Amino acid sequence: MTALNELTLAEARDKLAAREISATELTRAHIDAIEKARALNAYIAETPDHAITMARQSDERIARGEAGPLEGLPLGVKDLYATNGAHTQACSRILEGFKPVYESTVTANLWRDGAVMLGKLNMDEFAMGSSNETSCYGPVASPWLPPGWSQEQARAAGAGDKKGLLVPGGSSGGSAAAVAAHLCLGATASDTGGSIRQPAAFTGTVGIKPTYGRCSRWGMVAFASSLDQAGPIARTVRDCAIMLRSMAGYDPKDATCVDMPTPDYEKALGASLKGRRIGIPKEYRVDGMSEEIDALWRKGIDFMRDAGAEIVDISLPHTKYALPAYYIVAPAEASSNLARYDGVRYGLREQGRDIVEMYEKTRAKGFGPEVRRRVLIGTYVLSAGYYDAYYVRAQKIRTLIRRDFETAFHAGVDAILTPATPSAAFGIGEKTSADPVEMYLNDVFTVTVNMAGLPGLAVPGGLSRDGLPLGLQLIGRPFDEETLFSAAHVIEQSAGRVQLPASWWA
Amino acid sequence: MTAAANRTKFIKGATGDWEVVIGMEIHAQVTSRSKLFSGASTAFGGDPNSHVSLVDAAMPGMLPVINEECVRQAVRTGLGLKAQINLRSVFDRKNYFYPDLPQGYQISQYKHPIVGEGEVVVDVTPTEQIRVGIERLHLEQDAGKSLHDQSPTSSFVDLNRSGVALMEIVSRPDLRSAEEARAYVTKLRTILRYLGTCDGDMEKGSLRADVNVSVRKPGAPLGTRCEIKNVNSIRFIGQAVEVEARRQIAILEDGGKIDQETRLFDPGRGETRAMRSKEEAHDYRYFPDPDLLPLEFEQTLVDELASALPELPDAKKARFMSDYGLASYDAGVLVMERDTADYFEDMVREGADAKAAANWLINEYFGRLNKAGLTIETGPVSARANSAIVQMVSGDVISGKIAKDLIEIVWEAGPQADPRKIVEERGMKQVTDTGAIEAAVDAIIAANPDKVEQAKAKPTMLGWFVGQVMKQTGGKANPQSVNELLKSKLGL
């Protein structure tokens, strides 16, 4: 029999409903797995007692026949989400010791539906990063074995500085690693430029960034408000569909959250793609793209065609400007969003002779180098004399990018298929000393979606020659996550779920 | 009217006349129960940090949501200023670090304010009216308050005001004297209070002014201006303009030049002091707040609010002049406060003659209120009682002199007092019986033959006779009858 923590979320749900297992034993299996997997550094705060209490309550509700849609299902929560009374630091020193007295809307929705919280998951500091190496708690190791490594080698690295182990991607690296390593049935994540989709692709999991406005941002530590969006990472398309349905929904506390009914996404699975048109954007065939990624993409196209979809070549001409424009808009908003971390009211405070020195010392010590870099870039592009040249132009590009997509959708394309990342996962430490732009290039296929506010989903399409997972990305019309789930389900069925090699960490 | 025309406002300097040019930014606290972007109370005077929501304290992940009542108040105000209402406006972030600014930015409106150009008609004197252009009105958050006197080693912060809605009302540089500046703020305050969009309480900081002052030789281009921050009374606004203008004139006449800077007015010393220069000015890095969508509403909302707007002071004044025949000055005084205007109209409705009621209020009742430190709302005499008094004077039931005694009694007795009953009970009615008056007149004439002689040569002696008769009759004789009788009997 499969270990309880290796069930999919949907399987566990069905077994709980059939009273084959209890929420308490399901939760305990996860707590045990988490304890054994500390070498991965996926959880930065474990809440086992709280989890058991919640699980017991779930069992009682199940016994009374009052089970919610996620009743008794143990989940991990990205450290970006405010969780009442529990560790919430967005993996930054500046929020040292911060425990909010409030619960984010998205996590509150999950608990309302019966889910169980296992703990808080590692991430890049303030969600700024593509490898989970900027966390103040250190890097997360992917459960995937680096090509050519032995279990012993990996174990040794895992006990040490983790150099050479694979990154799980970022910023939702803890979420992706925990899901891949069966340390939760699913996890909340967030995506500002690819932070759900890239880690999902690197770890062979499924992640969806829904349409901007689908989930409430209330209680999520803000990185770039106009781009941030909550979403789930899980092991199957179905599991993502189940989680997103609970996470999403109108929230009057977020002015950018849309008042629309949330569909039952699980129903979209199995829908036929016959006659649906899938767009293939030529601009995503970037210079130097590996043959491997190209092959993956072609395979994805075949899956779609075989399922009856019509393949259409499309053009999204402003794609190449998306990354530079993103790296103006996102830091600009971040520089302002992070101004509240000043040492005055909560979190870290370094004393100074006067208020200015206190600010300087607190922020210098509290923010890591990548966060400082983006605050500086953001401050620069918004400053007098540069605003028009950078921020205003970036916003114009953003409009053009959105228009590219609108044109394609207007011409009858139902969804767009691209690779999720330009490569498979790389090693911890491999890119940290290099030009930061090299790290930023990880987001080249994903940022356009945030810039346009569209839904995007990453689903495993197969393995690289080295045996590492590779992901395909589906991009949809605004608020048409259902088509993405239908198409992703086809890919999942066709490609088969990627199988994680035996664990080296436990 | 253009300022260049009015030479009487010029300031005399050693080198000749100088013209002062003033523009103002008024920060008016919006009357609303909760803050601009949070549900916390706006009540004044709570314990420190007792009206603070998670949003006001800028806790991680908190988001602003616009308070629609504040939007309606801004639109009402825009309509009251006869201004352009922008159906689409944008909230921006104004970024700077300060301990009483928890977000590290103030949410304000920079490029696209909710209200555009308008105009205020200001009565500078009973005979002089000026038009002051309004450049814009925008909504923004107030900051908290730093407390430096609570501890020897630290400053404390009170966030009760943090996030309270303010309207910043920016005028054109259309004002030319301290008097005009005072009159403008007075008028703006009157309009806001009529609209119910700001209580105008300057002591509580509900209305603060940043005053931009520059000077120039008449006809010359605009001079370099200085901004005097946060002046919090109408009197101080006048003083600040006066001393700042003289400071600038002295510098210029000495051959110096004015540095563009922000200054503070010190009412104790009667001077302005430099706060920060242009070079030290913050780079606020304004950009549209991504947490808020552009503020958009339909013209129907504007129409709805316009149709529910109260009669505003200018219209009321015009009506008082045309319907009641009041003089411009009297009408102007009565409409200054909406409660006063209502009180006046209540008196007329109760039967008082409008002009007589206006006179009585302005020349008698307001003085008493002022002396007692009361307002028309807190004063002890009802409109009905004052109306009765005025009616009795007009109907010759009591004399004007008795009326003054009467209001004293009514004042003490409180709002329930019935002046007619008091007059009846205390026998204060005016004597109009000519027989009785004649008897008194005759008695005085008979008793003072020498004075009668003098009066023939000097008719102003008549006053002395009137006084004697009034004394004899306990002030109740009708003065007109006394006058006429005396004149004829003395042969004047």
Question: Is there a contact between A345 and B57 if contact means CB atoms under 8 Å apart?
Answer: yes
Q: What is the mean pLDDT of chain B?
A: 92
Q: Give CA–CA dist B443/A422, Å, rounded.
A: 121
Question: Is there a contact between B54 and A226 if contact means CB atoms under 8 Å apart?
Answer: no
| pLDDT tens track for A245-288 | 999 999 999 999 999 999 999 999 999 999 999 999 999 998 87
Give A338's contacts in chain B (Cβ within 8 Å): 104
- Chain A residue set in contact with B, beta carbons under 8 Å: 81-82, 88, 90, 95, 98, 100-102, 104, 217-222, 224-226, 252-256, 332-333, 335-336, 338-340, 342, 344-346, 355, 359, 379, 382-384, 387, 391
Distance between A340 CA and the closest CA of chain B, angstroms: 5
Q: Are A172 and A190 in contact (CB under 8 A)?
A: yes
Scored b (16 or more CB within 10 A) or e, B228-252 reads bbebbbbebbbbbbbbbbbbbbeeb
pLDDT at residue A340 tops 80 = yes
Q: In the predicted model, what is the mean pLDDT of residues B55-74?
A: 98
Q: How confident is the model at residue B1 (pLDDT cuts 50, 70, 90)?
A: very low
Interface mutation target, options B49, B287, B289, B293, chain A, most CBs of A under 10 Å? B287
Question: Is there a contact between A256 and B291 if contact means CB atoms under 8 Å apart?
Answer: yes
Q: In the predicted model, what is the mean pLDDT of residues A372-378?
A: 98
The single-letter code of the amino acid at B294 is P
Element (H, E) at A334: helix A319-337
Active site residues of A: 78, 171, 195
The phi, psi pair for A294, rounded to 5°, reads -60, -40
Residues forming a β-bridge with B438? none
Question: Is there a contact between A336 and B285 if contact means CB atoms under 8 Å apart?
Answer: yes
pTM of the entire structure? 0.91
Distance between B266 CA and the closest CA of chain A, angstroms: 25
pLDDT at residue B417 tops 90 = no
Query: What pLDDT does A497 receive?
Result: 83
Give A256's contacts in chain B (Cβ within 8 Å): 290-293
Scored b (16 or more CB within 10 A) or e, A431-470 reads bbeeebeebbbbbbbbbbbbbbbbbbbbbbbbbbeeebbb
Question: Is there a contact between B61 and A220 if contact means CB atoms under 8 Å apart?
Answer: yes
Write down the ipTM of this complex: 0.96
- Considering only the beta carbons, identify the residue of B63, B283, B285 that sits closest to A255: B63
Interface mutation target, options B53, B54, B56, B63, chain A, most CBs of A under 10 Å? B63
pLDDT at residue B434 tops 80 = no
Q: In the predicted model, what is the mean pLDDT of residues A217-221?
A: 98
Query: What pLDDT does A407 receive?
Result: 98
Query: What pLDDT does B491 receive?
Result: 78
Q: What is the mean pLDDT of chain A?
A: 96
Nearest to B187 by CA among B374, B70, B26: B26
Tokens found for residue A52: 């058991």
Tokens found for residue A308: 């009856």
Q: Give CA–CA dist A203/A66, Å, rounded.
A: 35
Share of chain B above pLDDT 70, in %: 99
pLDDT at residue B437 tops 70 = yes
| pLDDT tens track for A452-475 | 999 999 999 999 999 999 999 999
Structural domains in chain B?
A: 16-305 (no CATH), 311-426 (no CATH), 434-490 (1.10.10.410)
Q: Domain coordinates of chain A in residue numbers?
A: 4-283+294-316+404-495
| pLDDT tens track for B14-31 | 999 999 999 999 999 999
Q: Which chain B residue's Cα is nearest to A216?
A: B63
* Region A4-283+294-316+404-495: CATH code: 3.90.1300.10
Query: What pLDDT does B425 receive?
Result: 87
Neighbours of B131 (CB within 10 A): 11
pLDDT at residue B433 tops 90 = no
Q: In the predicted model, what is the mean pLDDT of residues A298-303?
A: 98
Q: Give CA–CA dist A359/A362, Å, rounded.
A: 5
Q: In the predicted model, what is the mean pLDDT of residues B281-286?
A: 90
pLDDT at residue A313 tops 60 = yes
| pLDDT tens track for A408-432 | 999 999 999 999 999 999 999 998 8
Q: In the predicted model, what is the mean pLDDT of residues B181-190?
A: 97
- Considering only the beta carbons, identify the residue of A101, A255, A339 that sits closest to B104: A339
Tokens found for residue A44: 């930065």
Residues forming a β-bridge with A120? A45, A77
Element (H, E) at A440: helix A436-440
Angle separating helix axes B234-253 and B178-195, nearest 10 degrees: 150
Q: How confident is the model at residue A1 (pLDDT cuts 50, 70, 90)?
A: low
Give B104's contacts in chain A (Cβ within 8 Å): 336, 338-340, 342
Q: What is the DSSP string of A43-109?
A: EEEE-HHHHHHHHHHHHHHHHHT---TTTT-EEEEETTB--TTS---TT-GGGTT---SS--HHHHH
Q: In the predicted model, what is the mean pLDDT of residues A176-183?
A: 98
Q: In the predicted model, what is the mean pLDDT of residues A301-305?
A: 98
